[in-house]
Amino acid sequence: MLLIKYQIDLYNNGGSMIYLKNPTEIKNIDYVNKLGIEVLQMCYDYIKPGIMTLELEELLLKFCLKNKVRSSFKGYSGFPHNLCVSVNEEVVHGFPNEYEVKDGDIVSVDIGLIKDGYYSDAAFTKSVGKTSDNIKKLIKTTRECLNYGIKKAKNGNRISDISVAIQSHAERMGFDVIRCFVGHGVGLDVHELPKIPNYLTQRVDWKLRIGMVIAIEPIVVEGTYDIQIKLNTWTAITKDRKLSAHFERSVVVMDNNSLILGGGASWD
């Protein structure tokens, strides 16, 4: 991995050190996120009945070669693939494989890229073909949860403001949020502080500061938020086998709002 020298502003909040990015770092993080959104859009457009989820990894690898970037997921803590593809009851960390997407499936794709020491992270969920009204509601609600969370990511607010916005909307719409996977800081590494839960907890509730770059990623479920892990030791599935949806965007905290890094996408 290429080591980049950089200046970081740190502040101590509750005993933990939080990274604040400078304008040059934010510009570079935004650029790699633009590439991340571009390849995610390619995956989104490619998904249809009959494709194998493995084809999405092949699509990503060609994109990385062309744009001189690489996946930040491959090899991270031993993860064996370049992206995550989670189908139906799979919550996160699904493996791309020879599974053929079927009419009525919902497919989540999560991609992180690294370029010159800067990281992106984003995800979407897409319904395939004809799906039920409840599936459409689940995906719409998860996307709305992300947007509500992003609106709370501004200077002076606290992490709990994001968490409450996500959890309250999901529950108001008749769903629940996964507890054991959370959002996180991002930009100079795959995962940084602070953690961004999608539900209200009693843990340290850091104040948001200008220059913090965070990945907000609500994961919303039809039924229980309890999960199980597949034999591959990575893929999480809902314990009751009900459906799950996942959206994620990386944002930088501003004074009165937050800036979504990488620009817009068709699923926003």
Contact (Cβ atoms closer than 8 angstroms) between residue 84 and residue 91: no
Residue 212, pLDDT above cutoff 90: yes
Residue 137, pLDDT above cutoff 60: yes
Q: Which amino acid is at 105?
A: D
Contact (Cβ atoms closer than 8 angstroms) between residue 156 and residue 208: yes
- Which carries the bigger pLDDT value, residue 13 or residue 177? 177
Q: What is the pLDDT of residues 97-134, one digit of tens each?
A: 999 999 999 999 999 999 999 999 999 999 999 999 99
Predicted local distance difference test score (pLDDT) of residue 17: 55
For the domain bounded by 13-260, which CATH number is listed?
3.90.230.10
The pLDDT > 70 percentage for the chain reads 92
Across all residues in the chain, what is the average pLDDT? 92
Q: Mind giving me the DSSP string for 55-118?
A: HHHHHHHHHHHHHT-EESSTTGGG--SSSEEEETTEEE-PPP-SPBP-TT-EEEEEE-EEETTE
Q: What is the pLDDT of residues 233-257, one digit of tens each?
A: 999 999 999 999 999 999 999 988 8
Phi/psi region, residue 50 (left: phi>0; alpha: psi -120 to 50; beta: rest), is left
- Helix ranges (DSSP H) in 125-211: 133-151, 159-172
Confidence of residue 201 (pLDDT cuts 50, 70, 90): confident
Residue 4, pLDDT above cutoff 70: no
Tokens coding 205: 């509730």
Q: What is the pLDDT of residues 145-195, one digit of tens each?
A: 999 999 999 999 999 999 999 999 999 999 999 999 999 999 999 999 899
Residue 8, pLDDT above cutoff 60: no
Tokens coding 61: 């690898």
What is this structure's pTM? 0.92
> Exposed, middle or buried by CB within 10 Å (0-12, 13-18, 19+), for 2?
exposed
